[in-house]
Structure 1
């Protein structure tokens, strides 16, 4: 579903190139969940943007659902995002002029895969039932977060990319939203790549990798420690 093959990425600075990713290899299969951890500024969001085709690698290749991102022009990458990906970013990017119901089904309508029964199911599971006619500004931060997750899952994407999807929530709410997110991802049949700084958030996922100095490494010691808790 997602492959990084020797991906490099650097950004120009007054002090010279800032290397962010250096020879990244990554494989994520259909229906698999992967947590990506790392310190602030380690390149986690850059990797996620490359996976979404929002940025391009300097070298190497990113493949999404069999499509080489670098071989696609921007309109083709936009279609790939619409048809294949679900995106959940730290900024919710809800449409303020649309109510909850229309925000929830927006991505599915754009992808031509709207299923009213699935949208209703998502609203109920996400605690948004009865709030369909409200607008984003009338929702709490937690409700906006859940709406953003529901919008991303409404078209049943092959791959869900999530950047700190519980980062704006308190610990108790974050645990509830994470559990629900993983249940809905399984119901949708999606693969999941999630960026997080929290070991507690990473634990329930199938695999966890750490991004350090531009390279990926497995968190074997962390996995062993987590399994004992």
Structure 2
């Protein structure tokens, strides 16, 4: 579902080039879950952005569902994201002018996969029944993140990328949201790549890798 092969990424800084990723390779099979850990500034979010085609590598290749991401122009990468990817971020990135229901359906509509029965099921599973007409500012942080997860999974993407999905939540809410995320991922059978600094988030996933000095190493937590 996702393969990075010998990926390098460097950013210019006033102090000179900063190598963020150094010869990084990984594979994520369909239905598999993978946690990516590392210290702040280790390149975790950069790797996720490259995997999503939001940025391009300096060297190496990135294949998403059989497509070479780095060889695609931005319109084609955007189309690939709509059709193959769900994205969840630490910041919820909900559209403030849309109701909860319209936010939930947004990604599915963009992908031409708006399924009323699946949407109604998600509303129930997300604990948002009766809140469909509320706007994001009228929801709690946990409700907003559950809504963001539902929006990402509404088109039933084969791959979900999540960047610190519980980072803005208190411990109890974070655990509830994580359990919901993993349950819905299993139901949809999509692959999952989670960037996190939390061993509690990484522990239930199939595998864990750690970024250190721009390189990937296996991690047993």
Q: Same fold (TM over 0.5)?
A: yes
The Cα of 1:135 is off from its aligned counterpart by 0.5
- Give, in whole Å, the separation in 2 of the partners of 1:202 and 1:120: 29
The Cα of 1:32 is off from its aligned counterpart by 0.3
The Cα of 1:26 is off from its aligned counterpart by 0.4
Corresponding residue for 1:60? 60
- Give, in whole Å, the separation in 1 of the partners of 2:70 and 2:145: 31
- Give, in whole Å, the separation in 1 of the partners of 2:169 and 2:117: 28
**Local SS of the residue matching 2:11:** strand
- Give, in whole Å, the separation in 2 of the partners of 1:176 and 1:144: 13
**Local SS of the residue matching 1:180:** helix
**TM-score scaled by length of structure 2:** 0.99
Following superposition, which runs of at least 4 residues in structure 1 exceed 3 angstroms of deviation?
none
The Cα of 1:81 is off from its aligned counterpart by 0.3
Question: Would you say 1:139 and 2:139 are equivalent positions?
Answer: yes
Corresponding residue for 2:30? 30
Corresponding residue for 1:90? 90
Structure 1 residues not aligned, in runs of 5+: 223-229
The Cα of 1:115 is off from its aligned counterpart by 1.0
The Cα of 1:193 is off from its aligned counterpart by 0.2
- Give, in whole Å, the separation in 2 of the partners of 1:187 and 1:106: 20
- Give, in whole Å, the separation in 2 of the partners of 1:178 and 1:109: 25
The Cα offsets for residues 30-49 of structure 1, whole Å up to 9 and x where unpaired, read as: 00000000000000000000
The Cα offsets for residues 184-222 of structure 1, whole Å up to 9 and x where unpaired, read as: 0111111000001000110000000000000000113x2
**Local SS of the residue matching 2:167:** coil
The Cα of 1:123 is off from its aligned counterpart by 1.1
- Give, in whole Å, the separation in 2 of the partners of 1:175 and 1:92: 17
Question: Would you say 1:208 and 2:208 are equivalent positions?
Answer: yes
Q: Conserved in 1, the CA contact under 8 Å of 2:91 and 2:168?
A: no
**Local SS of the residue matching 2:165:** coil
**TM-score scaled by length of structure 1:** 0.95
- Give, in whole Å, the separation in 2 of the partners of 1:114 and 1:175: 29
Q: How many residues align?
A: 221
CA RMSD across the alignment: 0.7
Corresponding residue for 1:73? 73
**Local SS of the residue matching 1:200:** helix
Corresponding residue for 1:227? none
Corresponding residue for 1:100? 100
**Local SS of the residue matching 1:41:** coil
